[in-house]
């Protein structure tokens, strides 16, 4: 069997939904703190939103273009859509059953209550009315549907109400339907004062507030129904390279259209009559298969704020303080520390602050003459970006490679690009058609009459908030070969010419793919020669067919292969004659697994690489990625003992993948110790 045989590959979209089911299992787990279970439910919903915006949007485009060629898994776009539609409907049904039947009662038992309109006391009704009149009504714009008022353009994922009416208005009109859109700046969940709610933590939904007082928007008319709904739109942004003179200008023009792009899903409250649901489907150009009828708020993601509004530590994960590597505990001068040794950071167990300090110290150091950095996702409030701006204001040569096409962060990155330009920094947007996904920062410092380079390379974004939530590695080094490679990559991004051969770093789209394949095949050669051979690879997704085929061939040669793939994996493990020596697991824990680690035993060399790239077509061929070796023997052991082995030993949060693509949760054997990789790392690395 070969990877070209469709039976050897699994479907990407169904794999993504399977990952979402694993996340949903966390919300169902009674051993997890209650408010964290609510967070997991919100994460599931958020993931599903993105699935529709990106993957379903892409499938619908392919179907509309009448593409009928099967994908690598043998399924056509239409077949894939029909399958994932069924699975997505089941997933949504399960979400709301969990919310209504399990989480709501469990929260109520802790005196955390979502007060429904049907049970409001008189005092609560008075408070809600005053809140509506003061905070909500002035922002609402009811739009009646008639020849002078066509169906409005509704924002992607906005909360809306379809209001059915009876009666005649002051102009003699007899409208039957109106649309009310809730402004986005209003919180969807509102905390009610304790003395009014009668509970320790009482909340109401904005939808309930509007529903209760929607009649005040249509004076003299009779309201016969009010129904929440939400439309999800395709999030893809496409540009014609030949027609774009300035990417930022084109993006600024295209971003507003995303909010009103083609619809891919309609969610309605399950009390909504078919006549209104069908009307909305027609308006959005959708079919019945795109309709999701829900028993509760149409956007559970907005409940993500609730745990932060509740001061109940016992209902959340224990707080922790991230630690520091020993090299930085005794040396506050980060450049001096780097001259002594390479330094490895393991987030979130270890602090992201040294990365901020690296740029901050460079900005204030009179001997630093230049700073170059890639920006993929940084967030709207970033101390690191402010330090870069400060460096530019102080007259240092600052070059920032801003990836404008980082999905859903485009507006934020445009804002940073403008501020960097205003500060006098060199701002470039990489290479059109290739996302700059590599995480690199380069500092050039004058020392003793010569220039010395220092770099930070990472598996994750330069984003302080996600560094507290995602597992990632970062490496500080002033190794001359590594810093020369990074300098060359920056030269590619800002200039032009053929790529220079790198000494240490593997780079996409040039040699990362070929080097990965060569490393896999080298392990197969070792196995055939009777030498021990072992591959351990940790990543977010494994989809690229040639890499999968190489792994199959290595397995058939006798290589032991352990894959830790958080999300979607198209490889089938444990198939006799194909992949008997391959094991795949997915770890879903408190933190989002995000690091990419590649270990090749290579006889006794034990090669360890960290990377920004997953093993996907886009990462290998359509992105600029960096895959860098860990050269220091001690740090190499740290990566193995912190980034790989704990996850292979995890028997509590690891899901083992079956050959058919299904997953089963690994559980401790009777009498054996419960091993939870992330919790063990917190104990060992955090302060």
**Domain end (from 315, 339, 362):** 315
- Residue labelled with tokens 């994996």: 569
CATH at residue 295: 3.30.1840.10
- Among 43-47, 225-229, 326-330, name the one with the lowest average pLDDT: 326-330
For the cut 70, the answer to whether the pLDDT of residue 476 exceeds it is yes
Q: How far is CA 146 from CA 197, 203, 228, 667, in A?
A: 40, 36, 20, 60
pLDDT score of 324 more than 90: yes
| Cα 163 from Cα 143, distance rounded (Å) | 10
Distance CA 6, CA 10 (A): 8
pLDDT computed for residue 291 by the predictor = 98
User: Does 320 fall in a domain?
Assistant: no
Segment 410-439 shows an average pLDDT of: 87
**321 found inside a domain:** no
Say yes or no: 495 and 514 in one domain: no
What angle, rounded to 10 degrees, do the helices at 247-258 and 410-422 form?
150
Q: Which domain holds residue 494?
A: 326-501
* Domain identity same for 622 and 588: yes
Same domain, 549 and 571: yes
* Residue pLDDT, tens place only, 618-638: 999 999 999 999 999 999 999
304 & 332 share domain: no
Last residue of a domain, one of 485, 501, 517: 501
Q: Given phi > 0 = left and psi -120 to 50 = alpha, else beta, which region is 602?
A: left
Is 216 a residue whose pLDDT tops 60? yes
Q: 259, 283, 315: which is the final residue of a domain?
A: 315
Minimum mean pLDDT range among 4-8, 115-119, 199-203, 389-393: 4-8
- Residue 244, pLDDT above cutoff 60: no
Q: What is the reported pLDDT for 489? A: 95
Strand 439-447 and strand 368-375: pairing?
A: antiparallel
Question: 122 vs 175, which has greater pLDDT?
Answer: 122
Read off the pLDDT band of 249 (50, 70, 90): low
Do 288 and 356 fall within a single domain? Answer: no
Average pLDDT in the chain: 92
Q: Is residue 1 part of a domain?
A: no
Tell which residue, 79, 119, 95, has the closest CA to residue 37.
95
Q: What is the pLDDT of residues 265-310, one digit of tens each?
A: 999 999 999 999 999 999 999 999 999 999 999 999 999 999 999 9
Q: Are residues 359 and 298 in the same domain?
A: no
Provide the pLDDT for residue 6.
Answer: 53
Residue-level length of the chain: 687
In the chain, what percentage of residues exceed pLDDT 70? 95
* 346 within domain boundaries: yes
Asked if the structure places residue 231 within a domain, the reply is yes
pLDDT at 241 over 50: no
Active-site residue among 211, 346, 347, 437?
437
Lowest-confidence region among 193-202, 236-245, 640-649? 236-245
437 is catalytic: yes
CB 540 within 8 A of CB 566: yes
User: What pLDDT does residue 381 have?
Assistant: 84
Q: Evaluate whether residue 221 is within a structural domain.
A: yes
Q: How many structural domains does the chain have?
A: 3
Q: Are residues 67 and 135 in the same domain?
A: yes
Q: Is the pLDDT of residue 362 over 70?
A: yes
- Check residue 281 and give its pLDDT: 97
**Cα(432)–Cα(405) distance, rounded to whole angstroms?**
10
Q: Tell me: do 291 and 372 sit in the same domain.
A: no
End-to-end Cα, the chain, rounded Å: 51
CATH at 467: 3.30.870.10
497 alpha-carbon distance from chain centroid:
34
Over residues 513-522, mean pLDDT: 98
Could you give the dihedral angle defined by the CA atoms of residues 304, 310, 315 and 321, in that order, rounded to the nearest 10 degrees? 90
Say whether both 274 and 127 belong to one domain: yes
Comparing C-alpha atoms, which of 549, 637, 592 is closest to residue 6? 549
Give the count of beta carbons closer than 10 Å to the beta carbon of residue 362.
Answer: 28
* Residue 32 and residue 170 share a domain: yes
CA dihedral sign of residues 332, 333, 337, 340: negative
Q: Are residues 17 and 116 in the same domain?
A: yes
Distance CA(627)–CA(516), nearest Å, equals 10
- H helical segments located in 495-600: 512-528, 545-556
676 and 543 within one domain: yes
Residue 240 or 71, more confident: 71
Distances (CA, A) of 442 to 399, 467, 624: 10, 20, 16
Given this model, what pLDDT does residue 559 score?
Answer: 98
Instruction: With a cut of 50, say whether residue 251 has pLDDT above it.
Output: no
Residue 142 resides in a domain: yes
Q: What is the pLDDT of residue 172?
A: 81
Whether 497 has a pLDDT exceeding 80, the answer reads no
Contact (CB, 8 A) for 370 and 396: yes
- Does residue 154 carry a pLDDT above 90? yes
């Amino acid at each position: 069997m070969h990877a070209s045989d469709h039976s050897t590959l699994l479907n990407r979209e169904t794999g993504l939904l399977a990952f979402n089911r694993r996340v949903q299992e966390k919300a169902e787990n009674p051993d997890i703190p209650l408010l964290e279970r609510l967070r997991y439910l919100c994460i599931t919903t958020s993931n599903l939103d993105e699935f529709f915006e990106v993957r379903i949007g892409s499938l619908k485009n392919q179907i509309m273009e009448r593409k009928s060629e099967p994908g690598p898994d043998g399924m056509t776009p239409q077949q894939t859509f029909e399958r994932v539609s069924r699975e997505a409907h089941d997933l949504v049904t399960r979400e709301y059953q969990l919310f209504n039947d399990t989480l709501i009662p469990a929260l109520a038992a802790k005196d955390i209550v979502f007060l429904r309109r049907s049970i409001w006391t008189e005092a609560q009704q008075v408070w809600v009315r005053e809140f509506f009149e003061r905070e909500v009504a002035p922002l609402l714009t009811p739009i009646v549907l008639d020849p002078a008022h066509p169906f409005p353009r509704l924002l992607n994922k906005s909360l809306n109400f379809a209001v059915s009416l009876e009666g005649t208005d002051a102009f003699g009109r007899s409208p039957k339907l109106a649309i009310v859109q809730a402004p986005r700046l209003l919180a969807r969940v509102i905390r009610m004062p304790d003395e009014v709610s009668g509970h320790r933590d009482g909340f109401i939904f904005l939808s309930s507030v509007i529903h209760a007082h929607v009649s005040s928007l249509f004076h003299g008319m009779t309201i016969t129904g009010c129904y929440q709904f939400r439309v999800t739109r395709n999030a893809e942004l496409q540009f014609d390279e030949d027609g774009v003179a300035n990417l930022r200008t084109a993006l600024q023009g295209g971003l507003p259209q995303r909010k009103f792009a083609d619809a891919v899903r309609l969610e309605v409250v399950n009390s909504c009559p078919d006549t209104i649901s069908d009307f909305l489907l027609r308006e959005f150009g959708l079919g019945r298969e795109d309709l999701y009828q829900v028993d509760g708020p149409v956007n559970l993601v907005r409940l993500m704020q609730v745990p932060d509004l509740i001061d109940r530590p016992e209902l959340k994960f224990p707080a922790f303080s991230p630690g520091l590597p020993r090299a930085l505990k005794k040396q506050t001068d980060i450049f001096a520390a780097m001259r002594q040794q390479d330094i490895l950071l393991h987030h979130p167990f270890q602090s992201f602050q040294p990365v901020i300090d690296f740029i901050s110290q460079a900005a204030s150091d009179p001997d630093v003459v230049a700073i170059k950095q890639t920006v993929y996702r940084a967030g709207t409030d970033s101390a690191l970006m402010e330090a870069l701006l400060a460096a530019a204001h102080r007259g240092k040569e600052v070059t920032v490679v801003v990836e404008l096409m980082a999905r859903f962060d485009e507006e934020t990155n445009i804002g940073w690009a403008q501020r960097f330009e205003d500060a006098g920094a060199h701002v470039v947007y990489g290479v059109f058609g290739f996302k700059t996904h590599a995480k690199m920062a380069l500092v050039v410092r004058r020392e003793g009459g010569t220039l010395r380079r220092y770099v930070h390379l990472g598996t994750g974004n330069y984003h302080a908030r996600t560094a507290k939530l995602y597992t990632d590695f970062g490496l500080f080094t002033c190794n001359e070969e590594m810093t020369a490679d990074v300098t060359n990559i920056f030269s590619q991004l800002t200039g032009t010419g053929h790529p220079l051969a790198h000494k240490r770093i593997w780079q996409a789209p040039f040699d990362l793919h070929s080097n990965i394949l060569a490393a896999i095949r080298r392990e197969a050669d070792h196995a055939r020669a009777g030498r021990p051979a072992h591959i351990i690879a940790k990543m977010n997704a494994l989809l690229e067919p040639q890499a999968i085929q190489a792994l199959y061939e290595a397995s058939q040669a006798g290589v032991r292969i352990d894959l830790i793939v958080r999300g979607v994996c198209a490889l089938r493990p444990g198939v006799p004659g194909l992949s008997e020596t391959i094991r795949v697991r997915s770890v879903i824990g408190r933190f989002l697994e995000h690091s990419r680690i590649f270990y090749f035993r290579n006889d006794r060399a034990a090669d360890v690489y960290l990377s920004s790239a997953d093993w996907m077509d886009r990462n290998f061929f359509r992105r600029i990625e960096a895959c860098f070796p860990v050269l220091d023997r001690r740090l190499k052991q740290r990566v193995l003992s912190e980034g790989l082995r704990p996850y292979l030993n995890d028997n509590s949060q690891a899901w083992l993948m079956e050959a058919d693509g299904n997953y089963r949760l690994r559980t401790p054997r009777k009498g054996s110790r419960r091993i939870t990789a992330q919790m063990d790392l917190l104990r060992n690395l955090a302060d």
